[in-house]
Structure 1
Amino acid sequence: MNIGEAAAACGVSAKMIRHYEAIGLVSAARSANGYRVYVERDVAVLRFIRHARDLGFPLEDVRRLLALWHDRARASAEVKKLALAHVAALEEKARSLDAMAASLRHLAEHCHGDARPDCPILDDLAR
Structure 2
Amino acid sequence: MVYKAPEQALFDALFKESMALQYPTYDHLPLGTEQATYPFVNIGEVQFVPMVTVDSIQGSLSLTVHIWGDGKQRKRVSDMMNTLFLYAVNLENVGDYRVQFHYQASTTRLLDDTSVPNSILKHGILELEFRLLGGH
- Work out which of the two has the higher radius of gyration on C-alpha atoms and give 1 or 2: 1
TM-score bin, normalised by smaller chain = under 0.3
Q: Tell which has more relative contact order, 1 or 2 (C-alpha 8 A, sep 6+).
A: 2
Using the size of structure 1 for normalisation, the TM-score is 0.27
